[in-house]
Amino acid sequence: MDGNSEKNNKEVKMQNIYNEVNSLDKRCCNKFDLTEDILMENASISMMNYINNICIKKDKILIVCGAGNNGADGIVLARLLHTKYKVSLYLPYGVKSEMAILQLKRAQKLNVNINTKMNKADVVVDCLFGSGLNRDLNEESISIIKKMNMIDGHKIACDVPSGINYLGQVCKEAFYADVTITMGALKRSLFTDIAKEYVGKINVSDLGIQRKLYETKTNCFLLEEKDLKLPMRDNKISNKGTFGHLSVVIGDKVGAGILCADAGFSFGCGLITVISKEIKRVPNYIMQNKIIPSNTTALSIGMGLGTKYDKSLLENEIPKVIDADLFSDENILTILEQKNIVITPHPKEFCSLLQMTNLADISVKELQNNRFKYVEIFSKKYKNVVLLLKGTNVIISENKKRYVNSLGTSILSKGGSGDVLCGLIGSLLAQGYSPLDAAINGSLSHTIAARKYNGNNYSMSPQDLVKEIKKL
């Protein structure tokens, strides 16, 4: 096995994502005899270390604190930074929690500067609400967040940007962070499509013990570039049949199927055949047939398919990746009962699918506000189907497991990008990847390749994307 193969086949532990971490905090205190005070001190030290790396002595640092424990974190931070920088605290609601009252008492004994209004600053630290927000913001809070956003300085959110609630929804207004330093572990609320505009880069702070001790088992994981396993060819003795045969059904929009086929061929599949009743103009290395060849190991169907197609193409046990037009076709109900199925809907298509399966009748807005909820509803019913819900943060789900690919970028907001994704997943299915691994690695390759594109972010074509995939 060569070096590249060893690298790409090495098992890597994915980062955990949690619905909430209050239970982890309590477990940490009970099991390891740590106190809330110790956890808070370490949370603030992590913010201090970040600030020390980006600031110089004369910088002005404004810390805006709420009345609860998120505000208490900010007060501790002010104490830690006091005298090293020009630090000022702004406490628009006063202090209410026991820890906030205690931390303010300590800060006052050091004569930490407390402002009665927001001043200009080089760094703004948002410590208003944190991850526990479960209500709409009032006008005062909205006004405060707007003023914070208007300050021309580097913006840091403590735990979760204020205005984003525990579901990852924006409560009318939210803080735009350059970086979010989240405490203890990753929260699901940071990985909604809506939240992505606000969270910036996400760093996780240890709270006095290593994360592997703080964290417990979860069913949700973050996908990162290090998790990608490319289809490296380790076989010393092989032929084109060794690496699978992907068949791609061509429909009304011929270009969609050809893009899918081209992407699949570029991602390691040994043979590609497009299925069409009529002869199409395709690259010389792609075969054509009117029926699915007997040695087909995976099938991609749905891209530009239209409504007039041979239904018998679906009546087989070949592993499949399903996209686009089939999500509004009643035959999807039969496909969902098969094994080795990956489906790749965008939000509108997923809403259609939820309606057809009698799981929910919702708008795209409702889905985008509750993506994890409806993914879980679907996967609870269709346990054997791998769902890849497209979005800025892609969610991949199988049965009880969820995976989030947060590497999505607006560069991919182009017609044909989804067809390329289907080709990548289909190619991996054809090469013997499990449906889940095909979806995960196809999605990672798709997003990582887009990020490596060095043209203007509005200019990438599907062909450009395929070129970048070849260089991964």
97: its two tokens: 């929690």
Q: Which domain, by its residues, includes 189? A: 15-218
Domain boundary among 176, 193, 218: 218
Q: 93 and 181 in one domain?
A: yes
pLDDT for the residue 218:
97
Q: Which of 339, 296, 304 is nearest to 436 (CA)?
A: 339
Domain boundary among 183, 218, 253: 218
Q: 256 and 131 in one domain?
A: no
Instruction: Write b or e for each residue in 12-22: b if 16 or more Cβ atoms lie within 10 A of its Cβ, otherwise e.
Output: eeebbbbeebe
Concatenated DSSP letters of 77-114: HHHHHBTTBEEEEE-TT---SHHHHHHHHHHHHTT--E
Residue 9 placed within a domain: no
Q: 270 and 198 in one domain?
A: no
Q: 232 and 205 in one domain?
A: no
Tens digit of pLDDT for each residue in 359-385?
A: 999 999 999 999 999 999 999 999 999
Q: 49 and 66 in one domain?
A: yes
pLDDT for the residue 12:
62
What CATH number is given to the structural domain containing 339? Answer: 3.40.1190.20
Residue 10 placed within a domain: no
Tens digit of pLDDT for each residue in 300-334?
A: 999 999 988 999 999 999 999 999 999 999 999 99
pLDDT for the residue 232:
87
DSSP at 313: G
pLDDT for the residue 11:
55
pLDDT-wise least confident of 16-25, 232-241, 275-284, 443-452: 232-241
Q: 195 and 48 in one domain?
A: yes
Q: 233 and 202 in one domain?
A: no
Taking each helix axis from N to C end, the angle separating 462-470 and 435-452, rounded to the nearest 10 degrees, works out to 100
Domain boundary among 218, 234, 259: 218
Residue 5 placed within a domain: no
The mean pLDDT value of the chain amounts to 94
Concatenated DSSP letters of 359-418: S----HHHHHHSHHHHHHHHHHH-TTEEEEE-SSSEEEEETTEEEEETT--GGG-STTHH
pLDDT for the residue 308:
86
Distance CA 65, CA 74 (A): 6
pLDDT for the residue 154:
97
Residue 441 placed within a domain: yes
pLDDT of 14 strictly over 90: yes
Q: 254 and 399 in one domain?
A: yes
Q: 233 and 201 in one domain?
A: no
Number of domains composing the chain = 2
pLDDT-wise least confident of 128-132, 242-246, 308-312, 397-401: 128-132
Residue 8 placed within a domain: no
Q: 207 and 275 in one domain?
A: no
- Stretch 440-465: mean pLDDT, rounded? 96
Q: 329 and 231 in one domain?
A: yes
pLDDT for the residue 2:
37
Residue 48 placed within a domain: yes
Give 16's strand partners: 221
Distance CA 300, CA 319 (A): 9
Q: 310 and 240 in one domain?
A: yes
Tens digit of pLDDT for each residue in 73-118?
A: 999 999 999 999 999 999 999 999 999 999 999 999 999 999 999 9
User: How many percent of the chain have pLDDT more than 90?
Assistant: 90
pLDDT for the residue 5:
38
Residue 7 placed within a domain: no
Tens digit of pLDDT for each residue in 267-309?
A: 999 999 999 988 888 888 999 999 999 999 999 999 999 988 9
Residues 6+ apart with CB under 8 A from 333: 356, 357
